[in-house]
A and B are shown apart, each in its own frame.
Chain A
């Protein structure tokens, strides 16, 4: 069914928060809030019924992959053609590994963990944050990256008037339908 988007532009944090509280109270949950900076008060309102961001999962997996691949490559390469350097070597014999000198490989492992972890984190952010978006969303307004706050409410057309009213009373400088 068709939904309408009503955008309220605010100049102040407290007014924005008041609007959000109102909306939630009235049972409007399909909201998009635009802020130039992350604002605690606003987040508090929004985070109440949301799970923690899953980015950290990406990070964990990335890190583990890094460690694993590092140990894999270091140990495997010294197996396939292990040259003896400085009396140290890594050799597979029936009895197991002899002459092993593993400590240096931990350094590689650590670096690879950070590398993979880092990249995974960013990928996580991009994917979960629905980035990159190629064209601006309907309700976006350039001022939101400067000094204005925006609340976009997606609701059924028949309730639009009510939302208009609500946002204005909450203190929106300007309210428009998109």
Chain B
């Protein structure tokens, strides 16, 4: 298995690694003892499973080489993501192969640290505790907390709890969208979170719903959003977004309405008011908005009356439209009211049943209400709980407001069992750690919404001494109950048997098929609901703390969700699209505030709330509402803590949760993230942010271009003007075979960074760390640029995925003294690592600066090196590298075609970035084949080349973004 060799060599001596090779160590190669039918060495096999990085539950295909997973891709058959995957899903591998993964069971000795133990010993402790408690009849003192498990696994956990007489299980998800449930109870009398049919909407009116980042199911909804919004044969939907901060989602809006934080509800009602007054909605809705006066509303919300009016028009005239709420809009003390108002908007516009579909309800509806979590916290603090069992993926000590005092409460619990497989803030408080297998190593199932059941199967053998939580619980449960296998309430020997028996009725004998498809998928009929119209309290959200302070917007991070993904160094290094910052958290401060306090980017600020203070570097943003500061959730320095790799760990917390009170939404009792006003003070020290993009101003260079919707329509009708051939003295190169090319639709790109991480995973791109990244030494082959146009306070944002343009007249090639950079016969710009001497001339001469240089010998700390793609060379220090258009996939695709004795067809070869793109902005294909999608798109009137005037004649064609007239 030759591609594995370099692990030894690289770790041994950098100089001799990838291209040295003069020395030869004898090494042994081991044959299998018994051949494994599923695995042929050197040939990838794929296993379908479900991504558990967040509750969205996307389908995943895991690529297995020689028994190890090297890449994750979306499952095309899965109804939620249909082949796409977000950056967090792509980075799940880093959790699987995390260097800090817990090696085996650990037991705390007295008050001191952990010491490793055998499974038997560790389980024995748990059993003893369980039996003792049951013996004392204190079953209720046992609490079981897990992440959202909507399928049979959840049922098993509940059954375990009942069998032992424990408290009802608590499923802990910080982002539970309870107010939506509550509001639906009120308006539609249905306790559920519906399916929002973006694809059918003409206009989407979003109140803070960050559906491109984290809201409900970001991949699924981003996909559907692209379908309704991106320009296709002359038609394109409209998207209006209301939020005090320009989030990534907001920056994709055709119109971004910046409102005073906490006034979304009022704004919604004002819009409804206009609709009623102007006869765009049924009179009956009048009583819902009886108390709302447009002028006053305009003042309080800080949104001009005209804006409200025309938003109302745009929304009401859409057939159908869709209004959604989420993010900061529905996490205030008035969250439920806000969502009720939004529901009324949908009802008034007649969207219910069309774009708002009850029936295929989201699994989020099954999350334990926050009230119960709070109750559990109180119980623990009161000493009622004597045994706490924490499932993998739950980290309440980090992901819940410190106002709940959860960490202290947990410390009060006599016996805490954690199933975490990577140490986190909560497992540190445990007494026994029984590392559960990573979801890629486990059996399980997950139903993201009604009718969709995804099945999890082990895609590889566990790389650490960890066991499925289910198995452990079954074993200790039986031991505690004194029953043996096959009998009693917990008869199943392992969770695998349990699941297979549970699935039997669903898969109807065809388990193989179901596993191959990745689950059992059915359509669920839309349930009819009627809206109850009642007056809504339109008062803005109440905020604790200094009245003169700034509203704190703590928002879920695109990259880390609630922080569970922060262990991935890939994600730490993939920039936040809006700020382009990596490896650090920041507090976003509006320009006005910055000027008042004399703050520059990188100045350390103390963010003070009644709960405490948080010290973070400032990021000055011209777009943020002056009355607010924003801090992303989920940031923590965790990658490779034990090795102190990549970034100097900072003792100070970066988690806004530490300054949030235990505030709740009055009506639903849901956790309120927007609940406090903070004051800023400048500390005088600095912590420069690692920001990858030097400037967001294109300086009139038209790198990312846009076209007006009307113009785009005309062009689409007229077609593209024929492109005159370039003038040259020399004969052009002829391509005997195919000529590869790529098109990227800037209009479809939503800037979600999935492609960046996918590329990193596919091409063995190393992680360089904060210092290097800040100094222009990041190695991403594909980078996602944000270019801002127009007024700085409300810019039009253009997202430009920039990768090697594979120019036909490539400036990098002729300057290379050794032909390491050259033009292949298939129109690629080849880069031969083992020929490269490292003069870096090509890097200077590339006008796009997409060439990356190996400044050091970058490490892949064990066991991360196991993830490396065997088909891609790991580059040695001192060589140039860059996007190869996944040449290894091209080779594989041609090989497959030759096996089938045919030529390469369109779609045979899919690059990693294209494969994972939720909005299908990227198309790869043969430009000589007139029929290929890529070629068709290059003929589009919107097609252009970046820096065309230089005459490099790139093989990557971009399609202009279509901007709406009023944007």
Does chain A bind chain B?
Answer: yes
Structural contact, B813 and A99, CB atoms closer than 8 A: no
Known: A85-B821, A86-B809, A87-B823. A99 touches B731 (CB 8 A): yes
Structural contact, B814 and A88, CB atoms closer than 8 A: yes
Structural contact, B822 and A87, CB atoms closer than 8 A: no
Bound Cα distance from A83 to B821, whole angstroms: 9
Structural contact, A85 and B814, CB atoms closer than 8 A: yes
| Residues of B contacting A100 in the complex (Cβ-Cβ under 8 angstroms) | 730
Structural contact, B819 and A85, CB atoms closer than 8 A: yes
Mask, B49-69, CB within 8 Å of A = 1, is: 000000000000000000000
**Does B732 sit at the interface, judged by CB under 8 A?**
yes
Structural contact, B731 and A86, CB atoms closer than 8 A: no
| Residues of B contacting A88 in the complex (Cβ-Cβ under 8 angstroms) | 730, 814
* Closest A residue, CB atoms, query B808: A87
| Residues of B contacting A83 in the complex (Cβ-Cβ under 8 angstroms) | 819, 822-823
Bound Cα distance from A98 to B730, whole angstroms: 8
Q: How many chain-A residues does the 8 Å CB contact rule pick out?
A: 11
Bound Cα distance from A170 to B816, whole angstroms: 70
**Does A89 sit at the interface, judged by CB under 8 A?**
yes
Bound Cα distance from A100 to B729, whole angstroms: 10
**Does A61 sit at the interface, judged by CB under 8 A?**
no
| Residues of B contacting A86 in the complex (Cβ-Cβ under 8 angstroms) | 809-811, 813-814
Chain B residues numbered 849-877 whose CB sits less than 8 Å from any CB in chain A: none
Chain A residues numbered 84-100 whose CB sits less than 8 Å from any CB in chain B: 84-89, 98-100
* Closest A residue, CB atoms, query B731: A99
Structural contact, B733 and A85, CB atoms closer than 8 A: no
| Residues of B contacting A87 in the complex (Cβ-Cβ under 8 angstroms) | 728, 730, 732-733, 808-810, 823, 953
**Does A101 sit at the interface, judged by CB under 8 A?**
yes
Bound Cα distance from A84 to B735, whole angstroms: 12
| Residues of A contacting B813 in the complex (Cβ-Cβ under 8 angstroms) | 84-86
Quote the shortest CB–CB distance from A107 to chain B (angstroms).
Answer: 13
* Closest B residue, CB atoms, query A104: B814
Q: How many chain-B residues does the 8 Å CB contact rule pick out?
A: 17
Residue among B728, B733, B953 with most chain A CB within 10 A? B733
Structural contact, B822 and A85, CB atoms closer than 8 A: yes
Structural contact, B730 and A85, CB atoms closer than 8 A: no
Chain B residues numbered 792-830 whose CB sits less than 8 Å from any CB in chain A: 808-811, 813-814, 816, 819, 821-823
* Closest B residue, CB atoms, query A86: B814
Structural contact, B733 and A99, CB atoms closer than 8 A: yes
Structural contact, A84 and B822, CB atoms closer than 8 A: yes
Structural contact, B814 and A98, CB atoms closer than 8 A: no
| Residues of A contacting B810 in the complex (Cβ-Cβ under 8 angstroms) | 85-87
Bound Cα distance from A141 to B354, whole angstroms: 117
Chain A residues numbered 74-122 whose CB sits less than 8 Å from any CB in chain B: 83-89, 98-101
Q: Which secondary structure dominates chain B's binding surface?
A: loop
* Closest B residue, CB atoms, query A99: B731
Bound Cα distance from A84 to B828, whole angstroms: 11
Structural contact, B730 and A99, CB atoms closer than 8 A: yes
Mask, A112-135, CB within 8 Å of B = 1, is: 000000000000000000000000
| Residues of A contacting B819 in the complex (Cβ-Cβ under 8 angstroms) | 83, 85
Bound Cα distance from A87 to B819, whole angstroms: 13
Chain B residues numbered 730-744 whose CB sits less than 8 Å from any CB in chain A: 730-733
| Residues of A contacting B809 in the complex (Cβ-Cβ under 8 angstroms) | 86-87
Chain B residues numbered 718-752 whose CB sits less than 8 Å from any CB in chain A: 728, 730-733
| Residues of A contacting B733 in the complex (Cβ-Cβ under 8 angstroms) | 84, 87, 89, 99
Structural contact, A85 and B731, CB atoms closer than 8 A: no
Structural contact, A84 and B730, CB atoms closer than 8 A: no
| Residues of A contacting B808 in the complex (Cβ-Cβ under 8 angstroms) | 87
Bound Cα distance from A87 to B953, whole angstroms: 10
* Closest B residue, CB atoms, query A101: B730
| Residues of A contacting B731 in the complex (Cβ-Cβ under 8 angstroms) | 98-99
Bound Cα distance from A85 to B822, whole angstroms: 5
Bound Cα distance from A56 to B556, whole angstroms: 83
Chain B residues numbered 691-731 whose CB sits less than 8 Å from any CB in chain A: 728, 730-731
* Closest B residue, CB atoms, query A97: B731
Bound Cα distance from A99 to B732, whole angstroms: 7
Quote the shortest CB–CB distance from A89 to chain B (angstroms).
Answer: 7
| Residues of A contacting B730 in the complex (Cβ-Cβ under 8 angstroms) | 87-88, 99-101
Quote the shortest CB–CB distance from B902 to chain A (angstroms).
Answer: 28
| Residues of A contacting B822 in the complex (Cβ-Cβ under 8 angstroms) | 83-85
Bound Cα distance from A85 to B733, whole angstroms: 10
| Residues of B contacting A99 in the complex (Cβ-Cβ under 8 angstroms) | 730-733
Residue among A83, A85, A87, A100 with most chain B CB within 10 A? A87
Quote the shortest CB–CB distance from B548 to chain A (angstroms).
Answer: 62
Quote the shortest CB–CB distance from A88 to chain B (angstroms).
Answer: 6
Quote the shortest CB–CB distance from A101 to chain B (angstroms).
Answer: 6
| Residues of B contacting A101 in the complex (Cβ-Cβ under 8 angstroms) | 730
| Residues of B contacting A84 in the complex (Cβ-Cβ under 8 angstroms) | 733, 813, 822-823
Bound Cα distance from A100 to B819, whole angstroms: 17
Bound Cα distance from A76 to B822, whole angstroms: 18
Bound Cα distance from A86 to B810, whole angstroms: 5
Residue among A85, A98, A100 with most chain B CB within 10 A? A85
| Residues of A contacting B816 in the complex (Cβ-Cβ under 8 angstroms) | 85
Bound Cα distance from A98 to B732, whole angstroms: 9
Bound Cα distance from A71 to B442, whole angstroms: 66
Quote the shortest CB–CB distance from B617 to chain A (angstroms).
Answer: 43
Question: Which are the 4 A-B pairs with shortest beta-carbon distances?
Answer: A85-B813, A86-B814, A87-B809, A83-B822
Contacts from B to A (Cβ < 8 Å): 728, 730-733, 808-811, 813-814, 816, 819, 821-823, 953
Task: Known A-B contacts: A88-B730, A99-B731, A99-B733. Give 16 more (CB < 8 A).
Answer: A83-B819, A83-B822, A84-B813, A85-B816, A85-B821, A85-B822, A86-B811, A87-B728, A87-B808, A87-B809, A87-B810, A88-B814, A99-B730, A99-B732, A100-B730, A101-B730
7 contacts between A and B (CB under 8 A): A83-B819, A85-B819, A86-B813, A87-B730, A87-B732, A87-B823, A99-B732
